[in-house]
């Protein structure tokens, strides 16, 4: 199963939506709350190529983007294969 990391905040609707989709796929998600741990925001920006909005999602270490990109992968049928791959 893939390694999934998400940088989020507790009160972000897009973050909740992304996590909900990932939970339906039965994947373990490592969630970094950038509000509770401000140093994680700098890490997120560096890893995501300068993006400052949440969520920022990584599958097997590859940055896939935010909630919209996650749902686009789902609609295209590519998310399932990405989640099946091991990192």
Here the CATH number for the domain that contains residue 53 is: 3.40.30.10
Number of domain units in the chain = 1
Confidence of residue 86 (pLDDT cuts 50, 70, 90): confident
Q: What is the mean pLDDT of residues 43-71?
A: 98
| Residue percentage of the chain with pLDDT more than 70 | 99
pLDDT score recorded for residue 87: 65
Would you tell me how many other CB atoms lie within 10 Å of the CB of residue 58? 21
Q: What is the mean pLDDT of residues 53-65?
A: 97
Q: What is the sign of the dihedral through the CA atoms of 69, 9, 52 and 27?
A: negative
> What whole-number distance in Å separates Cα of residue 42 and Cα of residue 73?
26
| pLDDT tens-place string over residues 15-26 | 999 999 999 998
Is the pLDDT at 85 greater than 90? The verdict is no
Structural domain of residue 43, as residue ranges?
4-84
pLDDT score recorded for residue 1: 81
């Amino acid at each position: 199963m893939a390694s999934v990391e998400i940088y989020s905040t507790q009160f972000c609707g897009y973050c909740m939506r992304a996590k909900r989709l990932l939970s339906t796929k039965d994947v373990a998600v490592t969630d970094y709350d950038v509000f509770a741990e401000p140093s994680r925001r700098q890490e997120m920006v560096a890893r995501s190529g300068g993006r400052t909005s949440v969520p920022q999602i990584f599958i097997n270490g590859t940055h896939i983007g935010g909630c919209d990109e996650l749902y686009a992968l789902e609609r295209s049928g590519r998310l399932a294969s990405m989640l099946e791959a091991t990192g």
